[in-house]
Structures are given as C-alpha cells and as structure tokens.
Amino acid sequence: MQVSSTTPSYQQTATSATKATPKEDPSIHPRGSKEHAQEQIHNMLNRDFPKDVATALEKETEGMQPVEVAIMTSRMQMSIGHYASGNGVKAHFEVQTDSNGNVTYPDLLSKEQMKQIDFGAYLQEALDHFKAKAPKSSTEVKQSYDALISDYTSLQNTYNKQKSEPIYA
C-alpha cells in the first residue's frame, strides 16, 4: 500500500509528537524521583480510600516506597473486608476457612463502601484483636502482631489527630 507524502505515517506522527519534559513543566516529576513516588502514593491512596483515611495513610507512609505502601494498604483492605463482612478483624496472615475447610478471602471494598466504615472503630477493634492474639502466639507470629500493633497505633494517632483538626474552606 502506497502512503502519500502528504499523509504522515504512524511512525512520523509518533516521533513528531512533542512531550513536555520535567524541565519545561514543573508539575511533571521524573520517574524514580522522590516527588514521583509521593505522587504515585497520593494517587493510589486517594483512589482506594475515603479522603480522611487517605490523608492519614499518606502522612503515615511518608518516605516509604510505593510498593511498600501498596503491600501495606492491600493487607489493610483485606482486614477491613473481614471487618465489614461481620467476621471481625483479621491480620493479613490469619486464615479464614469455610465449612469445607477452604481458605476464604474477603471481598475488597469499593471506595464508596469504604466510606460506610467507621475507620476509627475499625482501628480500635483491630488493635484490640492484635493485642489479644499476640501473647498467645509463637515468637515469629508474635513479632508480626507486635509490628501490626505498632503500625496501627501510629495510624490511629495520626487519624485521630487529623480528624480533630479544624477544616478550613
């Protein structure tokens, strides 16, 4: 097939397209930069969580890599899924089975469903659960519970502080 010289080919169009660079547009952060990582985390948290929860999580995850935040929040989403389904809070490593002994996983909640959760009550129930389970666990599992207790306590403090701050329009 003959392409006329007046009609640009796909290759010509693709190479002639101009993209702004970080130097030209300061709102574009180079991949791998600290700002790019913070932007990725901000977008991920605001996509999956209500604003008040996302803001607290963003403060708590400051300095973490996006992959670490993704792992942490996916574990939290599973735990919130257990909580929302009426099965109590479960740590990400606690297995729940059905009547046939098959492992079951909670449904991940949409952002709209997350808005129905009292996040402060969830955090308190999670802390109570982890604190009750930790002393009865083997050394390795106890260490995992202790890490969760530390993380959730810090998140609870950040969330409560943020909730008590005045909102200015």
Mean pLDDT of the chain: 78
Nearest-angstrom CA–CA distance, 46 and 108:
15
Domain layout of the chain by residue ranges: 30-105+116-164
Tokens 């607290």, residue?
A: 56
Q: Which residue has the higher pLDDT, 96 or 153?
A: 153
Specify the pairing of strand 103-104 against strand 96-97: antiparallel
Nearest-angstrom CA–CA distance, 84 and 126:
12
Q: What is the largest CA-CA distance in the chain?
A: 77
Q: What is the pLDDT of residue 8?
A: 44
**Which pLDDT tens digit goes with each residue over 10-56?**
344 444 445 545 455 555 545 556 676 677 777 778 778 888 888 88
Average pLDDT (98-127) is 86
Nearest-angstrom CA–CA distance, 43 and 74:
15
